Structure 1
Amino acid sequence: RPIFWVGNERTTDHIHSILTESEPWFEFDTSRLEYINRIKFWRYLLGNESFDADYWLTRVENDFE
């Protein structure tokens, strides 16, 4: 996938796939923490506390009652 301008042919990625895209230097544990922090930051930017990408925070925040 090109990271430079390719004209009108460019398709936009869904925000969920952008937020959960791993970096090559991430370990598995580091990437999980990074996904959670990205989602928390995105929630802050949107002002929407219910936003979640692939249920990463829902699984962590789910309280057992």
Structure 2
Amino acid sequence: MTSAVPEAMTVKEVMAALRLSRSKVYDLLRSRELPSFTIGRLRRFDTADVTAYMRKRVEENH
């Protein structure tokens, strides 16, 4: 049996995926709208969390 490892995104990848500035991504972190984790000094985002955030925003605007 194999277990799937969640894919992690960098801040730059989240910026590109959401078409947001670096400061806006960090605003989402501070407001806890977009969860992340750190490995040492590196911040990473679970791809599923970024996708869930996008879906939530789309649903709010419809």
Is the TM value for this pair above 0.5? no
Instruction: Output the TM-score relative to the length of structure 2.
Output: 0.33
Structure with higher Rg: it is 1
Which protein has the bigger strand share?
2
Structure with higher RCO (Cα < 8 A, 6+ apart):
2
